[in-house]
């Protein structure tokens, strides 16, 4: 046995010998995980015990550095496990997650609630305050955040309160894991089966072909299966001409997780509502134990927003403008439907279809015209990678000698303009039944000068797979998602910090989306468009008129987009502003609570449902965004302001890229993010550019006062 108590034959017993520390996925079997988790937790507890038992006065080296070095075995085990479980789940991995989730929560509590460890951090802070110890700025910020996090974890609570907190933390971890599994199962069960190809009129041939293969793979040869993507609005609704099928798809989407046997797309009993209610109640009690009125206040206290009042001020100001715009647009969309079906009532499943028709008519662009120019490999190499090269001098070389956890995973070595090794970028882009919905980024290895590690980063998307040999053609929304997730990857790849806990995206939740949303600005950069938007058959670049139209159509349907987003934010806030005794008790109360919450917030528009209904809102009930879905909006204020800064200062150049890298991307969580923003801009954020972007500016309105 190794000194960790783990069988040396277990691939987690030693750090990976592959380039950049890439996990050796091929060597890992499911039976390796549980022993490695157990050994990893035991090892980290031993390491922490050595730190708190050290008789020497606390210093950066024997306290901060030692904490940062601890837990390496557990970290590499958990990284591989949760990467595979999210992107390629199996029944075996589900069972392991169910076992280890409460154990991991208890382990985190054993460290986070250790008053001896907090006492050592307090003693170090006292030494800094009296001048006995001097810390580098990044170490001083690390000390501040670790003391804050320990207090927020409950380390200063009385023993009986800590006991209850431990029980709640284990319960929450199990409920979150359960919610995620049930949403994935409900989505698969709710896929819409179509037997008549004529109902698919409007879909391009490659998407019809994908639907046919999906049906065949699930035992429905000769039919067509329309899989559900995570958000409420399914992308195919913009294309389907057959109105009854649009309704079926929409109802299947919004019924996920409801468990209602009479729903148009039965979810096979995958009812997430009991889990959701138990989770909200447990979080509310946890916040109350920690001295906060509700969970939303607990979360806001850690972010740059600072308070729920500041969040509400921003939401209220934007909501009225977005809803007014959406209502005007709804009148236009309803008139278009009436011209086709005079007796029809305009419904939610009609919106994106008629919005896409309107966009096509006004700007001569729609997804059917755009997709032939948006071939995946071209977008990735001549769009995403080229922008990163122009801005940051990065190059990307495919490493076919390295393998991921699934054959779909592509691996690229990233180097600087000078040829210096930067890290690895992994791309897992195609949808699979075993992959959870949506798109995300993860760090497999964090950059750290302390540990001598370089970053290994993965982007995971859910793009429909074409038939072998056929091109993968994207919608413009999928192109934006590709750029967005790569913005997260850049945050990790360009990290330049000492401590691994401060690397890359390890920043407050309401700032983490800032760099990724900035990277979306290059999607519609005219010069870059002409590089990556090339017809997959003719090789001709996208015509100038189409490029101009695509650029000018950026704010098209902004009222709908902003309103559906804001509705989801309001829902998240409403659930997490409840006290423990205020949470509904019956699953049937969930829909009623939603309706009342949306009505109070002023976003109860029947034909603009929230981007996520509660029953499949994995961002907040399984994905780390609890009471923090506002983060996308908060970060978009920073993003829009920074996009305007890029345009004023020359656009996509090495000079602007270097300034953004130096002030924001390289810093990770090693500084207060507000300070990093001020270093770039010389001032605090301005909400005006976001209002302009969304088409919500009102002449003469005091926009600056909208931002807390």
List the catalytic residue out of 47, 485, 520, 564: 485
Asked if residues 376 and 429 have their Cβ atoms less than 8 Å apart, the reply is yes
Contacts of 599 (CB under 8 A, 6+ apart): none
What is the distance between the alpha carbons of residues 109 and 161, in angstroms, rounded to a whole number?
13
What is the distance between the alpha carbons of residues 344 and 141, in angstroms, rounded to a whole number?
60
What is the distance between the alpha carbons of residues 137 and 379, in angstroms, rounded to a whole number?
40
What is the distance between the alpha carbons of residues 174 and 325, in angstroms, rounded to a whole number?
41
What is the distance between the alpha carbons of residues 587 and 276, in angstroms, rounded to a whole number?
9
SS3 state of residue 192: strand
SS3 state of residue 226: strand
The 3-state secondary structure of 316-379, one letter per residue: HHHHHHHHHHHHHHHHHHHHHHHHHCCCCCCCHHHHHHHHHHHHHHHHCCCHHHHHHHCEHHHH
Bridge partners of residue 179, in order along the sequence: none
The verdict on whether 31 is a catalytic residue reads no
Q: Which helix (H) or strand (E) holds 34?
A: helix 33-53
Asked if residues 142 and 124 have their Cβ atoms less than 8 Å apart, the reply is no
Q: Two tokens at 655?
A: 């000079």
The 3-state secondary structure of 413-473, one letter per residue: EEECCCCCEEEEEEEEEECCCCCCCCCEEEEEECCECCCCECCEEEEEEEECCCCCCCCCE
What is the distance between the alpha carbons of residues 253 and 255, in angstroms, rounded to a whole number?
6
The catalytic residues are 485
């Amino acid at each position: 046995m190794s000194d960790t108590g783990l069988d040396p034959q277990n691939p987690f017993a030693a750090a990976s010998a592959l380039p950049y520390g890439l996990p050796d996925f091929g060597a890992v079997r499911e039976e390796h995980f549980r022993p490695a988790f157990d050994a990893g937790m035991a090892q980290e507890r031993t390491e922490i015990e050595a730190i708190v038992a050290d008789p020497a006065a606390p210093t950066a080296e024997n306290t901060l550095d030692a904490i940062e070095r601890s837990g390496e075995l557990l970290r590499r085990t958990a990284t591989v496990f949760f990467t595979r479980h999210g992107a390629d789940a199996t029944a075996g991995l589900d069972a392991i997650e169910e076992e280890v989730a409460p154990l991991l929560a208890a382990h985190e509590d054993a460290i986070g609630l250790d008053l001896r460890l907090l006492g050592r951090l307090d003693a170090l802070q006292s030494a800094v305050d009296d001048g006995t110890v001097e810390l580098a700025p990044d170490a001083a910020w690390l000390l501040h955040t670790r003391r804050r996090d320990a207090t927020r974890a409950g380390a200063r609570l009385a023993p009986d309160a800590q006991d209850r907190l431990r029980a709640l933390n284990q319960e929450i971890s199990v409920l979150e894991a359960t919610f995620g599994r049930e949403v994935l199962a409900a989505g698969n069960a709710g896929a819409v089966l179509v037997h008549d190809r004529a109902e698919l009129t409007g879909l391009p041939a490659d998407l019809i072909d994908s639907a046919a293969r999906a049906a065949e793979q699930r035992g429905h040869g000769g039919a067509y299966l329309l899989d559900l993507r995570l958000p409420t609005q399914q992308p195919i609704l913009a294309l389907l001409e057959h109105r009854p099928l649009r309704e079926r798809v929409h109802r299947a989407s919004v019924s996920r997780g409801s468990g209602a046997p009479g729903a148009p797309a039965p979810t096979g009993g995958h009812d997430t509502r009991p889990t959701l209610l138990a989770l909200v109640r447990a979080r509310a009690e946890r916040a109350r134990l920690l001295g906060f009125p509700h969970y939303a206040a607990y979360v806001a206290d850690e972010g740059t927003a600072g308070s729920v009042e500041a969040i509400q001020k921003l939401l209220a100001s934007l909501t009225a403008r977005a809803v007014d715009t959406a209502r005007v647009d709804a009148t236009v969309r309803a008139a278009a439907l009436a011209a086709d079906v005079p007796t029809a009532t305009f419904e939610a499943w009609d919106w994106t279809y008629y919005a896409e028709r309107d966009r096509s008519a006004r700007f001569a662009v729609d997804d059917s015209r755009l997709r032939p120019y948006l071939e995946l490999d071209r977008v990735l190499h001549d769009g995403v990678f080229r922008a990163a090269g122009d801005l940051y001098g990065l190059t990307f070389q495919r490493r076919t000698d390295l393998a991921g956890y699934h054959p779909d995973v592509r691996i690229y070595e990233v180097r600087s303009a000078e040829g210096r090794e930067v890290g690895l970028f992994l791309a897992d882009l195609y949808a699979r039944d075993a992959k959870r919905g949506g798109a995300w980024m993860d760090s497999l290895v964090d950059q750290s000068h302390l540990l001598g590690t370089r970053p290994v980063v993965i982007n995971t998307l859910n793009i429909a797979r074409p038939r072998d040999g056929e091109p993968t053609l994207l919608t413009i929304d999928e192109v934006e998602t590709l750029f967005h997730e790569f913005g997260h990857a850049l945050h990790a790849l360009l990290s330049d910090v000492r401590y691994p806990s401060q690397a890359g995206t390890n920043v407050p939740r309401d700032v983490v989306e800032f760099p990724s949303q900035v990277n979306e600005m290059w999607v519609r950069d005219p010069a870059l468009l002409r590089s990556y938007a090339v017809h997959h058959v003719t090789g001709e670049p996208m015509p100038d008129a189409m490029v101009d139209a695509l650029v000018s159509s950026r704010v098209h349907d902004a009222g709908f987009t902003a309103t559906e987003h804001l509705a989801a934010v309001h829902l998240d806030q409403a659930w997490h502003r409840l006290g423990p005794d205020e949470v509904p008790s019956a699953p049937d109360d969930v829909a009623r609570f939603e309706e009342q919450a949306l009505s109070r917030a002023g976003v109860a528009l029947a034909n603009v449902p929230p981007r996520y209904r509660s029953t499949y809102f994995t961002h907040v009930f399984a994905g780390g965004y609890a009471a923090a879905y506002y983060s996308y909006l908060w970060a978009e204020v920073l993003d829009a302001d920074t996009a305007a800064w890029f345009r004023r200062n020359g656009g996509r150049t090495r000079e602007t890229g270097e300034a953004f890298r130096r002030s924001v991307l390289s810093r990770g969580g090693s500084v207060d993010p507000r300070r990093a923003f001020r270093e770039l801009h010389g001032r605090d954020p301005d909400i005006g550019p976001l209002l302009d972007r969304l088409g919500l500016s009102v002449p003469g309105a005091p926009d600056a006062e909208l931002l807390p």
